[in-house]
Amino acid sequence: MPLFKLIKKEFSDEFKEWWWTYECLFELIFNKQIINKITITDYYQKNHPEVTDDLILEMLTKLNREILEAMEYNGNRKPYEWEVFHQYKPYRLFFWFKDGTTNHLWVRNCHRID
């Protein structure tokens, strides 16, 4: 059974990048908030072509029930950094809550930490 469903694919003329929005088909809870949607941009592909949306979504499932103490939305778009291991290799995700919400994660970048 899939964990995510692609619900929107769009190109941003302003940022010159693709955006994919997925609906969470399971109860994904992060920082005590239920996450309903995740948007991933293609920004990461510019420098990290080995990373895919599927890999990012898989890593995001590892966020389930995680709490980042310093993660309080204060109105700016400074990304949060979260380190996750995938196949015994460390990765770093860069994300924030979309437009001040607490149920929609916006993933801008992801790369392996070497």
Could you tell me the residue ranges of all domains in the chain? 4-112
Q: How far apart are CA 47 and CA 12, in angstroms?
A: 19
Q: Would the pLDDT of 100 be above 80?
A: no
DSSP 66: B
Give the tens place of pLDDT for each residue, 19-33: 999 999 999 988 788
DSSP class of 57:
H
Q: What one-character DSSP code corresponds to residue 44? A: G
- pLDDT in the model for residue 43: 86
**What are the φ/ψ torsions at residue 45 (nearest 5 degrees)?**
-70, -20
pTM: 0.85
Does position 76 have pLDDT exceeding 60, yes or no? no
Question: Which pLDDT does position 57 carry in this prediction?
Answer: 93
